[in-house]
Chains A and B, each alone.
Chain A
Amino acid sequence: MRVEVDPDRCAGSGMCALTDPAVFDQSDEDGTVVLLDPTAAGHEREAREAAHLCPAGAIKVIE
């Protein structure tokens, strides 16, 4: 599995960082998504959930 994020699309809602802070963080500057672990090793379910919840479609999970 590989996770991709697009900070340009990000609306800074924080849903990803709320869902799994081990995989996703937010920039202190503008709140946009910061990807901590593109493999989401051991956190596959949470990464998929975060991609689904993202209001701006800024997270993609490639299986």
Chain B
Amino acid sequence: MTETLYPELPTTRSSAFDPPAALGVLRETEPISRMSFPDGHLGWLVTTHALAREVLADVRFSNRAELQHSPIRAGGKPIPPQPPAKPGLFISMDGQDHAKYRRLLTGQFTVRRMNQLIPRIEAIVRDHLADVRAQGPGVDLVETFALPVPSMVICELLGVPYDERESFQRDTKTSFTLSQDFEEIQAAFDRIEDFVADLVRRKHDEPGDDMLTGLVETGELTDEEVTNMGLLLLIAGHETTANMLGIGTLTLLDHPDQLEALKDDPSLIDNTVEELMRYLSIVQFGATRVALEDVELGGVTIAAGEAVSISIPAANRDPAKFDRPEDFDIRRPATGHVAFGHGVHQCLGQQLARIEMRVGFTELFREFPDLRLAVPVEEVPMRDDMAIYGVHKLPVAFS
């Protein structure tokens, strides 16, 4: 008997800002469909907002590393099975194992704590915008603004010396580059781990007013646990926000009516950030979960052990949730998007990311009211080859 071949996750975008059209077709016709994973696993793909929320909130679906199947390849090859998460790498754990670590951090990322950071983030943003001006028209906004701002913010929070950023910025980029072989990605990840492990050792002798020191001083964690928690925050803390700042700026420049509306009424910034998150959904290949038992979902039975790929871009363009989902509209009700995920793994740093984007875009367009692209929009190199979508470079001009 021959097995039916099912399609893999659609990855070819229909335009720079729009997810693959095939995802929209599936959402209309078969919101939960069979999908082949590159390693040969036969699983499922979910494309509606309602089903995405349902899977992500259901604890019968696991995020444990050793159960996963990746919907995408690295270096053109399937990603090999992974060992269980190392101690402290809580993103790849379930239940109490996950909660134990997350609870030690959530108090540091509350709405109130993040609001208290606004003056410092404004200062960091202004310093970098001064550098943008000094470099003059033609400057790459990714290199001078979008990447260094969140990088410096997370370094200060964690207590990572900012002047040591070169290696971990390079290794973080490598670890998200899908054209790299998995061995290269793993090696880059291991180098970041070594870097943070060394830092954690130093925190014992040279404590600071920072999160790594705080975790060390709980006395509840081994250095290995602190290292893995710290490296999660370091990686997640700059790569994601950096890409939102880059492609978010491009999106606003490419929608001049929306940008004008924002300049006319700066109080629209909070909703603009939500709409950018929804519209862009930069975690472009979504989340994956694995059923721990047989689960009825949307009229089908997901068998224990089967993986479900949850398309975040498709869910955030679901017309059942958002009117005219293809339109970028900073006045629409955009909350309820799943760009930060949903369920107990929902982005821990989301309130920090929101503040960085609000301050970042506000200050950028205040400092450079006539900011424009220095190249035609179709020449902006897009990150189709990266796990996190965005722009590789953003050359801009201003007077």
Q: Which residues in A have some Cβ–Cβ distance to B below 8 Å?
A: 11-15, 17-19, 21, 25-32, 49, 52-53, 55-57
Contact = CB atoms under 8 A, between A and B. Distances in A.
A14 B115 CA distance: 12
State the majority secondary structure of interface residues on B.
Answer: helix
Given A17-B112, A29-B107, A30-B107, 6 more contacts: A12-B110, A14-B110, A18-B351, A31-B106, A53-B336, A56-B344
B111 interface: yes
Nearest to A12: B106
A56 B109 CA distance: 17
A12 B102 contact: yes
A26 B111 contact: yes
B347 A26 contact: no
Contacts, number: 75
B57 A28 contact: no
A14 B343 contact: no
Contact of B341 (A18, A49, A55): A55
Counting contact residues on chain B (CB < 8 A from A), the size range is: 20 to 34
Contacts of B351: 14, 18
A53 B340 CA distance: 12
B165 to A, nearest CB: 27
B103 interface: yes
Interface string B231-251: 000000000000000000000
B103 A12 contact: yes
B109 A31 contact: yes
